[in-house]
Amino acid sequence: MRPADTSPEAWRIFLEGLRKMSPTQKMQRALELSETVRSAAEAGLRQQYPQAGDREILLRLARLLLGEELFRKAYGDVLTDEIPAGERA
């Protein structure tokens, strides 16, 4: 489905480019985009918690990605603070 802010011609060109990609190229692109989103989320957490160390950021990112219930099953109560509204799943 074409996004509202994308012209039909631009969408056609985008789809042609996707069709020309090999499955390996498509997977590589998906992994790159996933890493970009993960990095942006981590950067946001580092900005929100400037005093947090690497381990705390990793745990906060895990909580964000997994959701509270699965995070607690995997990690227990390692993060006991109140969860900011933006991190709730």
Q: Is residue 49 part of a domain?
A: yes
In a domain, 3, yes or no: no
Q: How does pLDDT run across 8-39, given as a tens digit for each residue?
A: 999 999 999 999 999 999 999 999 999 999 99
Model confidence, pTM = 0.70
The candidate with the shortest Cα–Cα distance to 45, out of 25, 60, 67, 27, is: 60
In a domain, 32, yes or no: yes
Full domain range(s) for residue 50: 8-84
For residues 38 and 15, give the distance between their C-alpha atoms in angstroms, rounded to a whole number: 25
The total number of structural domains that make up the chain: 1
